[in-house]
Chains A and B, each alone.
Chain A
Amino acid sequence: MIANPLRLSGCGLPPQIVLLCRLFAIALLVSNHQRQIQTPYLPFIDALEIMNADVLRVMLVGGSLGVLFTRYTRLFTAVAGASLLLAVLSARTYYGNNKTFTGLMLLLASLERESGPPRLLQWQFGLVYFGAGLNKVLDPDWQSGQFFEHWATARLQNPFYIALSQNLPALVAGKLFCWTSIVAELTLAALCFLPRWRAGVIWIGGLFQCALLVFTGDPFNLFFMAMQASLFAFVRWPAQAIVVIWDGSCGFCKRTKQVIEKLDHEPIFEWHKLQSGIGDRYNLTRQQLKQALYAAGDGWLLNGYSAVRRMILHLPLFWMTSLAAFALCPNATSRRIAVTLLLLFLTPLSNPIGNLVYSWIARHRHELLANTTCELE
């Protein structure tokens, strides 16, 4: 019954959906969300007045722990999701979009098919953006820019926005921000229903939410974490192992491989020494392989820093620790820094520094951990 939380296969759902559910579970546990659950009051459905808040809390925590530490992902995801939705429906004073969205995503994940694209989750994500975009585009304060003007100046007191607004005619900055949000949300809604545009949803959705967080410093309770984790519904998890070609004559490389192997519980990586002649399969010369590590997947081949980054992105531990670290950020500044660093890492913006560091390590790899025994030397 007990399962390794870093192993995604064998849980009755596609690996990326298991990861999505575990990220939701981490967000709920690390943020201590059960403390926010209220005793029933002014319920949406009168019959739910009999609900017991402690039972809902136990369901939420137990369900989240079950998602993380057992193979019964479907069952425990349903328990955690149902507890949140019951909490929302049994107390109007607890109602919030972030809680409703988290509960629905968990419940829908438990209803997904064992294989194939997780359409229910993708459509749920699209519906949220459609509803949000539609409400905004029909609201006079969003059309005129008044919403953003008031929010960014009076509420957030955002210095960047205030400076921009002062240098532009009245409400132009507000209009710009309002309409950018509306266009982004309605575009995302449309893309969610177009299977070919999965990558577009991940990039536009991820960047839009990150930009919002950097601008406001506010995760809106569970909303930022839930939205980011939901993007895994659009990820295509590799069906085959990722081939990693490494220098078997280097002690540092061997130690690095051992560390990654310890974190790779599927395993998703298939390691080949460059000396094995595997390079021929990819038309890579021995000289090229000696200069950098290579990683190859379904239709892609990367080397150096880009290969290392792609490998890290396939480790569940990276996403789990990133989310937990974010949830523990104590204030707006630390949240902004955490998200900016993550964005730098995920986007090509980090390539210049990443390549520089990688090149230095690659050049000096035989000097690092020099006393380690090398297999081929």
Chain B
Amino acid sequence: MKWRYAIGLALLALQAVAIVRARFADDRYFCWAPFDQQTQYAIGVTIGGEGLTEFQIQRRYRRPFEGVDNRSANHIFDIIRRAERKLEPAGRSRVTVVYSVNGGQEQVWNYPE
């Protein structure tokens, strides 16, 4: 069936677009970059000045509050950014991520940016 094949080709074309898009975007979703980065990170969160526990952070972002992610560090930032916009639209949350990529120098990312 030609229409079935056309759907398949469209799915492949979308991925080709995602691969090209990844050259110009920080987040690397759907561009087939498995295990391209090792990001060691630790997340700290305060809401209205009160710190969240490790368990609360894990529930909030559905990932350990610290550890190693096998993908781009931007995936962590993206999840935090979106979660905070959804859970704390009033902007009372302050998030700090201390991270290093591939064993490199330690860096800090803050939300709000």
Q: B33 and A131: CB pair below 8 A?
A: yes
B55 vs chain A, min Cβ distance (A) = 16
User: Given known contacts A93-B61, A127-B15, is B29 in contact with A135 (CB within 8 Å)?
Assistant: no
**Contact, CB under 8 Å: B79 / A42:** yes
**A141–B62 CB distance below 8 A:** no
Task: Tell me whether A146 and B103 are in contact (CB under 8 A).
Answer: yes
Residue contact B38 to A136, C-beta cutoff 8 Å: no
Name the residue on B nearest A135 (C-beta): B33
Give the residue of A42, A98, A104 whose beta carbon is less than 8 angstroms from that of B11: A104
Contacts known (A147-B37, A147-B102, A154-B103); A93 close to B5, Cβ less than 8 A? no
Cβ-defined contact, A120 with B5, below 8 A:
yes
Q: How far is the CB of B89 from chain A (nearest CB, A)?
A: 14
Cβ B103 vs Cβ A135 within 8 A: no
Does A107 make an interface contact (CB < 8 A)? yes
Contact B22 A135 (CB under 8 A): yes
Cβ contacts under 8 Å, B32 to chain A = 97, 101, 127-132, 135
For residue B23, which residues in chain A have a CB less than 8 angstroms away from its CB?
Answer: 138
Q: Would you call A135 and B4 a contact (CB within 8 A)?
A: no
The residues of A that contact B35 with a CB separation of less than 8 Å are 151, 220
Q: State whether B78 touches A92 (Cβ < 8 A).
A: yes
Q: Determine the distance from Cα of A220 to Cα of B35 in the docked complex, in whole angstroms.
A: 9
Q: In whole angstroms, how far apart are the Cα atoms of A205 and B15 in the complex?
A: 21
CB of A136, distance to nearest CB on chain B (Å): 6
How near does chain B come to A74, taking the closest CB pair, in angstroms?
A: 9
With both beta carbons as reference points, the residue of chain A lying nearest to B27 in the complex is identified as: A92
Q: Which of B4, B16, B28 has the most CB of A within 10 A?
A: B4
Q: In the complex, which residue of chain A has the Cβ closest to the Cβ of B82?
A: A42
A108 at the interface (CB under 8 A from B): yes
Residue of A92, A104, A134, A149 near B103 (CB, 8 A) is A149
Q: Does B52 count as interface, using CB distance less than 8 angstroms?
A: no
- B36, B68, B75: which contacts A139 (Cβ < 8 A)? B36
In the assembled complex, B7 has its CB within 8 A of some CB on chain A: yes
Q: Does A184 contact B (CB under 8 A)?
A: no
Contact with A along B1-20 (1 / 0, CB 8 A): 00011011101100110110
Give the chain B neighbours of A154 by CB distance below 8 A.
103
Given A98-B34, A146-B103, A223-B34, are A112 and B62 also a contact pair (CB < 8 Å)? no
Residues of chain A at the chain B interface (Cβ within 8 Å): 38, 41-42, 44, 91-93, 95, 97-98, 100-101, 104, 107-108, 111-113, 120, 123-124, 127-132, 134-136, 138-139, 141-142, 146-147, 149-151, 154-155, 220, 223
> What would 13 more interface pairs be, CB under 8 Å, given A124-B12, A154-B103, A155-B68?
A38-B62, A91-B62, A97-B33, A108-B12, A111-B4, A111-B8, A127-B32, A131-B15, A135-B22, A135-B32, A141-B102, A149-B103, A220-B35
